[in-house]
Structure 1
Amino acid sequence: MPKVSVVIPHYRDLAGLDLCLRALARQTYPAADFEIVVADNNSPEGEAAVAAHVAGRARLVVVGEKGAGPARNGGVALTTGAILAFTDSDCVPEPEWLAEGVAALPAFDFVGGRVTVLVDQPDRMTGAEAFERVFAFDFKTYITKKGFTGAGNLFCTRAVFDQVGGFRAAVSEDVEWSFRARAMGLRLGYAPRAVVGHPARHTWDELWAKWRRVNAETYRLYRERPAGQLKWGLRSLALPLSAVAHTPKVFASDQLTTLTQRFSAVATLFKLRFWRLAHAFHLMRQGRDA
């Protein structure tokens, strides 16, 4: 079987990293045929603490340049496998994740799998958790309709990675990498049985922090495109309308079980879309990455 290198960027999340490494230890793919590289992004706990945490389970490299993209690149530099499998330190791969991702690759040049949203208490979800259960990590839509995959569940050969080049910093690095790969004529596929779980954001502050980062990174990509400012402004103005259009999805979703959860998700949906609109124009007014 081809040797696989699993690359995990990490920053200040030793508990999540422990869960991820435990899940990787349960993979059905032969243990002798895959390696794990943790690329620590200079966590404040220090290299010794991270090294002690991964000892016997993974190789460690410390990457000083900030960002998940540079961390992934630093991890790749330490790998030896013919296939690269990317996930994140807060993800929990299911046992068949590696086997299914590798099995999907021959039909495509790079593939993304499915991501499920994990909550600790499904019967007592917060508004942020209910929103994420419906809308977060929709990799099927990302891949089949939008043309990119997230790097929390990404497979490619080393040859493809070398051809495309590394991930960029300070942008939505997985989106940009996917578009760069597709511009080269490389084929993106969806592997629905290659599954990882990702914890839902529990509070509004956690959700806000995620979207503040995503908004800023996406804005940087738009600024690089022809008429990017105009397209960004029009896209942002459509956000409140998109909340209206997406409300039926909340009530049709099988990820929520009570009316309270559904109304809570809808309230979070509208609050977030209006906040993203305001933040989008704040970025434009500042003329820099706020």
Structure 2
Amino acid sequence: MSFVSVLPFADTFAYWWRELDGDPRRIRFMTVKTLEVSAFLGNRMRGHSKAPETAQPLLGHASQRPPNTVPIDPVVVVVVPVYCRSDRDARSVEALLGGLGLQSSRCHVLLVDDGSPRWRAPAVEVIRLDRNLGPAAARNRGVERALEFGADVVAFIDSDCIPAPDWVANIIPAFHTERRAHAISGATWSLDRTALGRYQERNGTLNGRRLRGEDRLLYGPTCNLALCGELARCLRFDESFKIAAAEDIDYCFRANQQGWSIYHAESVVVQHDYGYDELAPVGRVRRLWSQFRRYAEGERLLLRKHPDYHQAFAGSTEISLPSRTDV
């Protein structure tokens, strides 16, 4: 996600105005950016200092951990937190499982049902929680089971995403190519063919942020994130994050602080279903607004826990996806 209240809002608008110079969609993008920023108004930080050139003083200069030891033919366990509240949610899970069933490389799929009020038991391994604890807790239960299963790689994907057929196959060489990587964050495209879906791609909403002057990431979203076994064994999600917002940023921020390294691999592709296609224009705007309001709620907890996070954010840049013309 792309939090904005950690920077002065004028700087945010000025940055994107420069970035989109010459882009025919600049006005449309800035209009949506205004809506996004307004969702974070209540979170605005006081007393901002000048944005640092890098986040190195806060997060270190390089990996302080040994290289990953992902083998040539690793055991990959895919962990999916699931909370089904509607028939649409159930259809999304079915679509996800269909995509995982088409993977060109072997993987073990593990669903963690986070106390869903509606549930259709799929033909994969399922851990059922007695009550809704939130995605952070669900992923922790999934990681524990994945390690019991002997996972060399634990890959996270969300229930409203569909992986490319080579998603797992491309995670593995990403760890081999960059042995300094302890986590791999992929490229998350929008499944929706709307202008708002394209906004999310250009905004880098679900593609993490890269530390300035480095290949390492500040964070990668858990809708498309894989951990090597070493990191999975050492670090858990903070279960005080009860909603799907900022729990992945908190995890990655702590991982960076502890010397683990996160890298981006554009070949590790999933599509995220924002649900815009099925809505009228007004409904699409409401859905986008609700999404960023949820992110704002998660951000409040993140900034209470890490008041220096805004310094790291300012020392990083978004990972945008190439523009598409099919809208």
- Secondary structure of 2:99's partner? helix
SS in 1 for 2:263: strand
> Please, what is the CA RMSD of the aligned residues?
2.8
| CA distances 1:18-74 after superposition (whole Å, capped 9, x unpaired) | 1111111111113xxx210001111111xxx331xx12xx21111224211111112
Counterparts in 2 of 1:201 and 1:137: CA distance versus 1, 3 Å: farther
TM-score by length of 2: 0.62
Amino acid at match of 1:84: V
Aligned to 1:188: 262
Of 167, 175, 180, the residue aligned with 2:249 is: 175
Rounded to whole Å, the distance in 2 between the matches of 1:134 and 1:200 is 15
Is the CA contact 1:8–1:38 (under 8 Å) kept in the aligned structure 2? yes
Matched, 1:222 2:303: yes
* Aligned residue identity for 2:120: V
**Could you tell me which residue of structure 2 aligns to residue 265 of structure 1?**
none
**1:139 alignment partner, SS class:** coil
| Amino acid of the structure 2 residue aligned with 1:186 | W
Q: Where does structure 2 lack aligned partners over 5 or more consecutive residues?
A: 1-72, 277-283
- Alpha carbons of 1:4 and 1:227: their partners in 2 closer, same or farther (altered >3 Å)? closer
SS at match of 2:219: coil
Name the counterpart of 1:27: 103
CA distance in structure 1 between the partners assigned to 2:268 and 2:306 by the alignment: 33
Q: Tell me which residue corresponds to 1:283.
A: none
Task: Find out whether 1:131 has 2:131 as its counterpart.
Answer: no
Q: Which amino acid aligns with 1:208?
A: W
> 1:204 maps to what in 2?
285
Residue in 1 aligned with 2:76? 4
Deviations 1:142-174 (A, max 9, x none): 575761000111111232112122343326111
Q: Which runs of 5+ in 1 are unaligned?
A: 239-245, 262-290
For 2:209 and 2:202, the matched residues in 1 are separated by 13
Q: Write the letter of the residue equivalent to 2:207.
A: F
Instruction: Write the letter of the residue equivalent to 1:118.
Output: L
Counterparts of 2:173 and 2:78, CA distance in 1: 15
Give, in whole Å, the separation in 2 of the partners of 1:69 and 1:102: 24
CA contact (8 A) 2:183 2:263 kept: yes
The number of aligned residues is: 226
Q: Distance in 1 between matches of 2:302 and 2:208?
A: 22
- Aligned partner letter, 1:129: G
Q: Is the 8 A contact 1:115 1:198 kept in 2?
A: yes
Q: What SS class does the counterpart of residue 103 from structure 2 fall into?
A: coil
Give every structure 1 segment of 4 or more consecutive aligned residues whose post-TM-superposition deviation is greater than 2 Å: 63-66, 127-138, 140-146, 165-169, 224-228, 252-257
- Aligned residue in 2 for 1:100: 170
Please give the alpha-carbon distance, in whole angstroms, between the structure 2 residues aligned to 1:192 and 1:130.
17
Secondary structure in 2 matching 1:147: strand
For residues 1-290 of structure 1, the aligned pairs below 5 Å read: 1-12=73-84, 13-30=89-106, 34-45=107-118, 49-51=119-121, 54-55=122-123, 58-63=124-129, 64-79=131-146, 80=149, 81-106=151-176, 107=179, 108-119=181-192, 122=193, 125=194, 128-139=196-207, 141-142=209-210, 147-170=218-241, 172-202=246-276, 203-226=284-307, 254-256=323-325
State how far apart, in whole Å, the 2-side matches of 1:253 and 1:102 are: 24
The percent identity for this pair of structures is 24
SS of the residue corresponding to residue 60 of structure 1 reads strand
- Of stretches 132-141 and 151-160 in structure 1, the one that deviates more from structure 2 is 132-141
Question: Quick one: structure 1 residues 102 and 204, their matched pair in 2 at CA, closer, same or farther if it must change by over 3 Å?
Answer: same
Structure 1 residue 191: deviation in Å? 1.2
Aligned 8 A contact 1:129 1:201 in 2: no
3-state SS of the aligned residue for 1:204?
A: helix
Distance in 1 of aligned mates of 2:78 and 2:171: 11
Inter-partner Cα distance in structure 2 for 1:66 and 1:44 = 13
For the 8 Å contact 2:188–2:270, the answer to whether it is kept is yes
The alpha-carbon distance between structure 1 residues 166 and 224, as it changes in their structure 2 partners (threshold 3 A), is closer
Aligned residue for 1:277?
none
Q: Is contact 1:118–1:198 with CA below 8 Å preserved after alignment?
A: yes
